[in-house]
Structure 1
Amino acid sequence: MRAVALGGGHGLHATLSALRRLTPDVTAVVTVADDGGSSGRLRRELGLLPPGDLRQALAALAAAEDGGTLWAEVFQHRFGGTGALTGHAVGNLLLAGLFEVLGDPVAGLDEAARLLGISGRVLPMSVEPLEIEAEVTGLDNGNGEAVSRIRGQVAVASTPGQVRRISLHNPGRPHQPPIACPEAVEAVLNADAVFLGPGSWFTSVLPHLLVPDLHDALVRTTATKVVILNLMPQPGETAGFSPEQHLHVLFEHAPRLKVDAVIADRDSVPTPVRLRRAADSLGGRAHLASVAAPGRMGRHDPDALADCVREALGLSEGKEEGQ
């Protein structure tokens, strides 16, 4: 099975960890709008793609069942101290070096994958650093419905207001649409199964739908399309959101997108009938199962998630939820 997962950060890490249990042919398509921490510093100082989410995806595909290889551990190691290297992850610096030496982020990621012994592939959604702009309400104390515009992934992810809608821009070409990574478009078109989520909904999941060529590939692909929902709302981005509201926002940003399956944690869905109705409106079917990791709030269990993905794709004879 050729599986493609789109996202960023810990959410994409969860999907990749599950998919590794099902197939060695996994491609991660990763958001490139991060502007905080080590990634933000390297982006500002060197003008490169922010490497943090790309590093996380590589580490997820490299991790072994016994805890991971040495190189995967080193890749994730962050420097301490108080100097210039403080807070930088080794993998971020290595990717930045590969991007500069090879002059091509896709070639750099492929080389890093070889170093880590990965059978899958990690690709950026665009080969240019992008910027998120959000329409947010609740920031004006005098008018709770007034719309404010804020820019930057960190600002959007940490806003005390309510994000309503996002757009995606290339700061170097503000009046032109973002350009998709051609290899990412090809991967989506040739996939057997494509996955969106979980993750920060407005800053890691939805941005992929705002890159025109990537959006068109997601609409056109014959792959089975699966949305994996978060275990809980995220303060700022999706505070107060029900599971079905996540799907509603997805549809608002990509009205032509249809999905085949929606995976959600059974204990995170207060009203299953509403979620099933929302999934049906997108052309898909809701699959509810216990996919949360015990004792790890907000994290998916990779084995349980893999089992649910297997059922959603019709790869196993599982008992239907609710029966």
Structure 2
Amino acid sequence: MHHTSEQPASFTCLGGGHGLYQTLTAARFAGASDINAVVTVADDGGSSGRLRREMDVVPPGDLRMALAALSGEGEDGERWRGTLQHRFGGHGAMAGHALGNLLITGLAEQLGDTQAALDQVAAWTGSAGRVIPVCPRPLDIEADVAGLDDDPRVLRSVRGQVAVATTPGTVRRVRLTPDKPAASPDAVEAILGADVVTIGPGSWFSSVIPHILVPEIAQALNDTDAKVVVILNLTPEAGETHGFTTERHIHVFSQHAPELRVDAFLADDRAATTAGERENIARAAAGLDAAVTFMPLGEQTEDGSASTRHDPEKLAAALKAVHAAR
């Protein structure tokens, strides 16, 4: 990847799913000296959900995606990336399982430890970094959702990551069960030891906010000397953040961890076009002592419409700029 004249920085990236994949790819483009992925463990859908229920393991899907994002360069790394991401077809017992999920689950059984299994896969794949579950135990997410009832003021409890991510109602807040879980010590260490810590992008209520609901993680984010950067989503998501403005994304983030302080929010320069909107966003961020940086972050779409995916090279440039701005 491209190294610049500046000192390469150590990155710790918090998140899950496709958002984390893009951020890890961006960290590589930014010439990171080392990368730690701290990954959500609340997934209960698809292959991960099945393995979690049958084997009593941390759901491996988001961990697998992070390992794929960090797989080595060259032909071997490419082969590993394809292998980890390979999904079985058909209608049998294997249908829908990702090969990497089975590999992580089987190794964790053999070695008696999920972290050891992840570190072993990282060694095999020539990984550019380390993948760390945020908590050593699987978690559940529960949300208070409005709009599922005739009376819009009635809040109903919805449980499970899939249910939260796909609810037709409006998510007001989320909780973890068990409440206040212990963090993986390696995750805390990775936050304290980094130069840059990123949070997001991704499903706001089901893979971004859960991180800051883990008390030791929130504490580490406040204690670290790293520049802590929250990467905002490019567009609201159907389901959990339908119709949310950039400002509202920041508000719900801070409501879930009122004591948290971060350095910067990174927003796409097309997210807010008027001075008034930008002022409101800046005011929301100031509640967390943070500045807002507007930069082009979205992938170029064929028809010029707003992209939902971050472009890793643009994101890398933005992260380097934020890190350099001491």
Offset of residue 17 of structure 1: 0.8
**Residue aligning to 1:9:** 17
Matched, 1:199 2:202: yes
Offset of residue 68 of structure 1: 5.3
**Residue aligning to 1:312:** 322
Matched, 1:146 2:149: no
| Moved beyond 3 Å, runs of 4+ | 63-68
Counterpart Cα distance in 2 of 1:102 and 1:282? 41
Matched, 1:50 2:59: yes
TM-score, length of structure 1 as denominator length: 0.92
Counterpart Cα distance in 1 of 2:74 and 2:235? 27
**Residue aligning to 1:187:** 190
**Residue aligning to 1:234:** 237
1:32 aligned to which of 8, 28, 41: 41
Q: Superposition RMSD on alpha carbons, in Å? A: 1.7
TM-score, length of structure 2 as denominator length: 0.91
Q: Is the 8 A contact 2:222 2:262 kept in 1?
A: no
Matched, 1:300 2:310: yes
**Residue aligning to 2:291:** 285
2:177 aligned to which of 161, 165, 169: 169
**Residue aligning to 2:127:** 118
Offset of residue 315 of structure 1: 6.7
Which segment is superposed worse, 251-260 or 288-297? Answer: 288-297
Q: Residue 171 of structure 2 aligns to which amino acid in structure 1?
A: V
- In structure 2, the CA distance between the partners of 1:252 and 1:67, relative to structure 1 (3 Å rule), is farther
**Residue aligning to 2:164:** 156
Offset of residue 278 of structure 1: 2.0
Offset of residue 67 of structure 1: 11
Runs of at least 5 residues in structure 2 that lack an aligned partner in the other structure: 1-8
Q: SS in structure 2 opposite 1:69?
A: helix
Q: Residue 135 of structure 1 aligns to which amino acid in structure 2?
A: D
Offset of residue 73 of structure 1: 0.8
Counterpart Cα distance in 2 of 1:290 and 1:269? 12
Offset of residue 277 of structure 1: 2.3
**Residue aligning to 2:29:** 21
The share of aligned pairs that are identical, in percent, is 51
Q: How many residues of Structure 1 are paired with residues of Structure 2 in the alignment?
A: 310
Runs of at least 5 residues in structure 1 that lack an aligned partner in the other structure: 171-175, 317-323
Q: SS in structure 2 opposite 1:164?
A: strand
Counterpart Cα distance in 2 of 1:219 and 1:285? 16
- In structure 2, the CA distance between the partners of 1:178 and 1:282, relative to structure 1 (3 Å rule), is same
